Structure 1
């Protein structure tokens, strides 16, 4: 008989519905059973016991909410009868002991990467064009129009021929109904696929943004730190930087941040200041010449074997659902543990989505100083959210709630599973660089793109991104592997999903098997032999975090 519910932890007072349940259904788990008292959609939670107002509700073995109305055993948990709640935590010393998974089969495996002079290894080889201030975004666009298509980096799919077909119908005097019913061909697959002039350069990427001036000096410093993280990134061969000249984010500030991350920085870097150079034509002409010179140098770098210990993986989730915490996220957790056991580095971010699991992460910290920094950053972030009239309890999105994540603590307990079980070796504030192998915590918002942008700036060379609802999120310089929590999503949106872990829910695969399969896929992605969907679509999302509250 196919399992219809799951009790995640022995201490839990709720079950997860693995399929739609109707009143009168009897569900079974362990040696127990109960009758469902109301309709409970798949991914949602039903009560094992009856709750009265104020009773604690436990899931993943931690407090995830309190009943605000009476809930019958077998009843559904909703935003109407449950409030967000978490336990307090402290920094008492812990003797956490970790047993790494067996990694013999990967011990001598390698990936084909780009070796940099600082010892880091990239999974790609990009040239960056970076504005120091939003005033330069138009010039960035001009450079993009001049460079990308002719160098062979145009979009894989173009819908331009469909527009031309619709134009022809309008010009022929066809009706609105004809337009709406027109049978248009599929996108032209060959658009922009002329041979690359620089075959060893994966692309020229443009980091347009809305910052650099106005705001606070701290905003400018953080932006320069973020941009420096991209310029010094092992997936980047060099950069062209455009500055207006009078903005808060000065060239000297960027150079200072570059030196922090790479004291012996030796990549080609061209900095052009418009107010010094003069006309747009002179600026663009000089930028084009210098960028071509840089691309010629970047093209000399080729992939070479590197041990898996050189991988730095970002862990991310977005558009999460009620299955994310029991399929995709724990599968990522097992992959994370495998990489840590191999000497690699993983980054767990999204601090609003660690609310409620602070005690576990403090207990897993390698020392009291690391635990204290995590506590301090979490408390500061939470306080700023409250001062802005919000709070971590308002983090779940309408999509999260619709698909079973009704409190932030419930969402967080599942999201934290991405970090596996290994010790926390360091806690970093945005946008610091990761320097220690092992599990690192990075303070970022829960916003998908802001967090992914930050993880890459901190050194992630591949990002693993779980989703239960579907999101196209990508990054300009790091492949973002999109992992579905359920098979229905993988089948419905195959154009953006790279890996399906709904096999765990379907009973076809264990968490460990899915995590191992994912590691094999990472090796291919890191070697450039497997292109992820976000890269294929040119999904180059880049949003810096202004240190105001962004949940």
Structure 2
């Protein structure tokens, strides 16, 4: 590690500790020398000037908090001495002076993907089984039980091996807990061995709790979300189970599919249980139809595609005080490269854009998008406040413990995932991406709800940064996990794919890390690398029931 502290922006009045600093330790930064008034753990910040009650805290060049008491120079900022605060903002766009990165090494790059008739390209090839309403969840599970193992998509895992060993020890009268079975050395069957359909990556059986009983807007939004998955480039075809009387009507789903893909021609089977009759007949019919669809979808193979066919979702979860200075700006640079090459990226999690509204508004390419972004932000925050909360309550206990003590600090770092390119479109959930470039998508900060929405919008790869560690994945899109620090990467290698802690340690620049990440993305998109979330079958799927979710 080359330095002990970092100043993110010249206007900041705090420094970020890159290592644990003890009370009484003297820290030199350029010409300034600071005597630390208290312990400052790595990822946390201390003041560079004496602050009086009411003075603002500045990070990333913007207001991220306000002192609630006098704070002496060299003191750690915490939830005890500062509170969330942001600058006022107004709708604005300004002439775009963005300087695109040099992409001479990237513009002719290709990946091996699945080409669809509408011009989109998938990074995977899945069959989807989805219910229109929660009443069909049991039937979805019965199909899953009947099909996965028989078609070669359900291998015997190491956890089954562990249970088997414990069972044998118990039956033989041994102290089964005394035997130290190391999970890492137990065998796990190859989950690709014995697959009947070699060109189908898997059958994904999704369940949810929506479709009826709520307001009609929730049902209609669910139809839009499901249509986003059915028309997704990573999906070869789908089987849809309908009870027949639910609010989420089949005709609404069909209209949403046509809205996203007017020439939709993938294999699609929509079955109505009330019209079919007996449950056993209904499940049998669904299995037969699905098998027929799998045989058809298995005919498609990977072919070369330009990287401008990539749509990357940008996500973070379990963030820490290093996220905004390592992993997030690294994928921001990845984003800028892809945008320059003609691809698309999605920045979501609107509660985590609190405090950077002005900057993002000024990046919008037209007044309409700036106005839409401002409207969505204000409306969303007002709904939260009406419920007794607000964006200021977004940081989790884990965020706070690891240095993100106000929502504005968290948001200023989270927004770095979007790089610095212009905002070409502003979408509301569950809309689809239709423009190349940086797209904003209104979603909660909730990891799974937001990732679920980004994929419905068309993301065929998701870059997911984390400082604390989270297993989040998606049923149809590879979710690449990037750690903000090396300690996390070493500790949780079974869920983390890439380490961006090299930036903190001075081994790599943000730009170098961003290019390394894009190279990894291309390998994942081509099927050459299976990411941890896919290996772990981390098929998280939570539709956002439109309301207050931070």
What TM-score results when the alignment is normalised by the length of structure 2? 0.98
Q: Provide the C-alpha distance between the structure 2 equivalents of 1:13 and 1:269, rounded to a whole number of angstroms.
A: 58
Q: Provide the C-alpha distance between the structure 2 equivalents of 1:235 and 1:193, rounded to a whole number of angstroms.
A: 18
Aligned to 2:167: 167
What TM-score results when the alignment is normalised by the length of structure 1? 0.98
Q: Deviations over 1:279-304 (max 9, x none)?
A: 11101111111101100111111111
Indicate the SS of the match to 1:159: helix
Aligned to 2:206: 207
**Is contact 1:57-1:67 (8 Å) kept?**
yes
Give the CA deviation at 1:156.
6.7
Aligned to 1:228: 227
Q: Deviations over 1:12-33 (max 9, x none)?
A: 0100000000122222223322
Aligned to 2:542: 543
Q: Provide the C-alpha distance between the structure 2 equivalents of 1:153 and 1:327, rounded to a whole number of angstroms.
A: 37
**Is contact 2:93-2:365 (8 Å) kept?**
no
Aligned to 2:20: 20
Structural mapping, 1:69-468, within 5 Å: 69-155=69-155, 157-175=157-175, 178-179=176-177, 181-183=179-181, 186-190=185-189, 192-468=191-467
Q: Provide the C-alpha distance between the structure 2 equivalents of 1:191 and 1:530, rounded to a whole number of angstroms.
A: 15
Q: Deviations over 1:503-547 (max 9, x none)?
A: 000110000000000010010011111110000110000000001
Give the CA deviation at 1:230.
0.1
Give the CA deviation at 1:142.
0.5
Moved over 6 A (4+): none
Aligned to 1:7: 7
**Is contact 1:156-1:193 (8 Å) kept?**
no
**Is contact 2:381-2:391 (8 Å) kept?**
yes
Aligned to 1:486: 485
Indicate the SS of the match to 1:519: helix
Seen in structure 2, the aligned counterparts of structure 1 residues 191 and 528 have a Cα distance that, compared at 3 Å, is closer
Do structure 1's residue 47 and structure 2's residue 67 form an aligned pair? no
Indicate the SS of the match to 1:58: strand
Q: Provide the C-alpha distance between the structure 2 equivalents of 1:404 and 1:221, rounded to a whole number of angstroms.
A: 40
Q: Provide the C-alpha distance between the structure 2 equivalents of 1:296 and 1:127, rounded to a whole number of angstroms.
A: 11
User: Can you give the 5+ residue segments of structure 1 that lack an aligned partner in the other structure?
Assistant: none
Give the CA deviation at 1:182.
4.0
Q: Provide the C-alpha distance between the structure 2 equivalents of 1:395 and 1:341, rounded to a whole number of angstroms.
A: 32
Seen in structure 2, the aligned counterparts of structure 1 residues 192 and 250 have a Cα distance that, compared at 3 Å, is same
Count residues in correspondence.
Answer: 549
**Is contact 1:154-1:191 (8 Å) kept?**
no
Q: Deviations over 1:234-286 (max 9, x none)?
A: 00010000001111101111111111101111111001111110111101111
Give the CA deviation at 1:180.
5.2
**Is contact 2:93-2:364 (8 Å) kept?**
no
Give the CA deviation at 1:70.
1.7
- Kindly report the root-mean-square deviation, in angstroms, between the aligned alpha carbons of the 2 structures: 1.2
Give the CA deviation at 1:123.
0.5
**Is contact 1:134-1:210 (8 Å) kept?**
yes
Q: Provide the C-alpha distance between the structure 2 equivalents of 1:20 and 1:77, rounded to a whole number of angstroms.
A: 14
Q: Provide the C-alpha distance between the structure 2 equivalents of 1:513 and 1:538, rounded to a whole number of angstroms.
A: 30
**Is contact 1:237-1:298 (8 Å) kept?**
yes
**Is contact 1:157-1:537 (8 Å) kept?**
no
Aligned to 2:508: 509
**Is contact 2:395-2:407 (8 Å) kept?**
yes
Q: Provide the C-alpha distance between the structure 2 equivalents of 1:37 and 1:86, rounded to a whole number of angstroms.
A: 26
Give the CA deviation at 1:169.
2.7
Indicate the SS of the match to 2:203: strand
Do structure 1's residue 34 and structure 2's residue 26 form an aligned pair? no
**Is contact 1:156-1:536 (8 Å) kept?**
no
Give the CA deviation at 1:164.
2.2
User: Can you give the 5+ residue segments of structure 2 that lack an aligned partner in the other structure?
Assistant: none
Q: Deviations over 1:305-338 (max 9, x none)?
A: 1111110000000000000000000001100000
Seen in structure 2, the aligned counterparts of structure 1 residues 487 and 156 have a Cα distance that, compared at 3 Å, is farther
**Is contact 2:320-2:403 (8 Å) kept?**
yes
**Is contact 2:316-2:466 (8 Å) kept?**
yes
